[in-house]
Amino acid sequence: MFTEVPLSSFVAAHADGALVLDVREPHEYAAGHVPGARLVPLATVPDTLGDLPTGQPIFVICQSGSRSRVAAQHLARAGRDARSVTGGTGGWVSAGRPVVRGQHANVA
């Protein structure tokens, strides 16, 4: 089973360098995403399992939390410690947190 985490818990984990998967579509990601988030559109999540660690939490984010729950369920069934971020990127932005625009995950 996957876990849902509130935005406040995600903010703390992100500050500690958590692995973040953004499961939105590329155009959504390019419009603004959490710094450091790795783009893995929902439809491609099964194809990325071999690239994801098994020994650490994986925070999954989308716009509001719906797609991230689906992705987190899939990851959890595959043995990953998946955590869906409640409120998603929309909540992150509404809270005044920084976003990166463009396709680059680690460019501020």
Residue 2: band (very low, low, confident or very high) from pLDDT cuts 50, 70, 90: confident
CA distance 101 to 3: 28
Measured CA to CA, the distance from residue 19 to residue 33 in angstroms comes to 14
How much is the average pLDDT of 2-27?
96
- State pLDDT tens for residues 39-73: 999 999 999 999 999 989 999 999 999 999 999 99
Structure tokens at 50: 């071999």
pLDDT digits (tens, 9 = 90+) for 33-44: 999 999 999 999
Active site positions, annotated: 62
Domain boundaries, the chain: 3-46+53-94
CATH architecture observed for domain 3-46+53-94: 3-Layer(aba) Sandwich (3.40)
pLDDT at position 107 over 50: no
Distance CA 25, CA 17 (A): 23
Task: With 0.85 as the threshold, say if the pTM is over it.
Answer: yes
